Amino acid sequence: MDKILIVGPASQILGIKIALELGIEAINTETKLFPDGENYLRINIEDETRITEKEVIIVQSTGPSFNRTQNARIMELLMMIDSVKRMGAAKTTVIIPYLAYARQDKRFRPGESKFAEILIQLLNSSGINELFAVDVHSPSILEECSCKAINIDSMKILADYIKSKGTKEIIVVSPDKGAEERSRLFATHFGANVPVEVFEKKRDLKTGEIKMSGSLSLKNRDVVIADDIIATGGTMAKAIKLAKLSGARKIFAVATHALLLQQAKYRILNAGADEIIGTDSIDNEVSKVSLAKIIADYLR
Ligand code: R5P
């Protein structure tokens, strides 16, 4: 079946790169906000038969970017899915490099919703045939998908980038217990027996305030602090300060999804990081590692 790719407004660079990797046609969209705040999206196409009977691949991250919230990005995604189905797509494959709301996978306090699950239900009801997301905060939420759903792992390509920086005596630090398993897997990409240390993080569920503890011997070590998401940078900044106090030489702050909200860049660099590294799941100045090839490999 012929493939065609729709480049979502939130994934312009990554979308084009995936189309180039696959050697297939890419179509852009046009978007705007109506005066009342509603989203508008149109796939930039005059002849709808270009979509009919094709396998359509939609690439759209759902992080906040370029003056659009994650809610707007989700609405745009649902609009793209609806539009290609109305144009007669034979198969709809959706790539969501950053899956928003994935951190709301549990009810932490009475009265809360479990919105990660609702988002998956929305995607189910949209009638997609395949879903690919990258390093989902809680990959188990993909089990709620009624179609094939794959969580793509970006750890190897992030590790390759860091190794290209001439790092020595690497130690991987997990900023909390939740990230430990991922950090242990991440460490294996730097070689056998690369140590992993875990800090203890406690977040106040009401205020969001973070307390972190841990003291390690990091003297003469290049430290890689790895997390799935950097949002406000609070977690990273605390971990970096502890790593500095523990004698780290160089510090790399690494996340698949570097949302960099509010003053995250300042907080992380001011805490002592040498570099912030993210993937192009979020299109910003730290998206140094492209997901295009690993995503394309799943689509060939
Ligand atoms: C939480 O469990 C995540 O893995 C990240 O640690 C968290 O989202 C980072 O948030 P922030 O940058 O605001 O501290």
Q: What is the pLDDT of residues 18-63, one digit of tens each?
A: 999 999 999 999 999 999 999 999 999 999 999 999 999 999 999 9
Per-residue pLDDT tens digits for 129-173: 999 999 999 999 999 999 999 999 999 999 999 999 999 999 999
List all residues 6 or more positions away from 134 whose beta carbon is below 8 Å from its beta carbon. 97, 98, 151, 152, 153, 154, 256, 257, 279, 281, 291, 295
For ligand 1, whether the C-beta of 256 sits within 6 Å is no
Give the nearest ligand 1 atom to 264 CA: 12
State the distance from the centre of ligand 1 to the C-alpha of 173, rounded, in angstroms.
14
Query: Average pLDDT in the 79-104 region?
Result: 98
206 band by pLDDT with thresholds 50, 70 and 90: confident
For ligand 1, whether the C-beta of 233 sits within 6 Å is yes
Question: CA distances (Å), 13 to each of 19, 98, 276, 278, in order?
Answer: 10, 14, 20, 14
* Pair 5, 57: CB distance under 8 Å: yes
Query: Average pLDDT in the 271-293 region?
Result: 97
- Residue with CA closest to ligand 1 atom 8: 229
Query: Average pLDDT in the 205-230 region?
Result: 88
Per-residue DSSP letter, 158: H
Quote the tokens at residue 181: 């398993």
List all residues 6 or more positions away from 299 whose beta carbon is below 8 Å from its beta carbon. 3, 18, 22, 57, 93, 95, 132
For ligand 1, whether the C-beta of 232 sits within 6 Å is yes
Give the nearest ligand 1 atom to 231 CA: 12
Per annotation, catalytic residue among 165, 168, 177, 201: 201
* Pair 18, 37: CB distance under 8 Å: no
For ligand 1, whether the C-beta of 229 sits within 6 Å is yes
For ligand 1, whether the C-beta of 230 sits within 6 Å is yes
CA 183 – CA 197 distance, rounded (Å): 9
Q: What is the pLDDT of residue 216?
A: 81
Question: CA distances (Å), 74 to each of 62, 81, 106, 201, in order?
Answer: 6, 11, 20, 30
- Which range among 96-100, 207-211, 288-292 shows the weakest confidence by mean pLDDT? 207-211
Q: Give the mutation target among 70, 98, 230 for probing the ligand 1 site: most ligand atoms within 8 A of CB.
A: 230
- Known active-site residue 201: yes
Q: What is the pLDDT of residue 200?
A: 87
State the distance from the centre of ligand 1 to the C-alpha of 105, rounded, in angstroms.
14
State the distance from the centre of ligand 1 to the C-alpha of 229, rounded, in angstroms.
6
Q: What is the pLDDT of residue 106?
A: 95
State the distance from the centre of ligand 1 to the C-alpha of 101, rounded, in angstroms.
12
Per-residue pLDDT tens digits for 107-120: 999 999 999 999 99
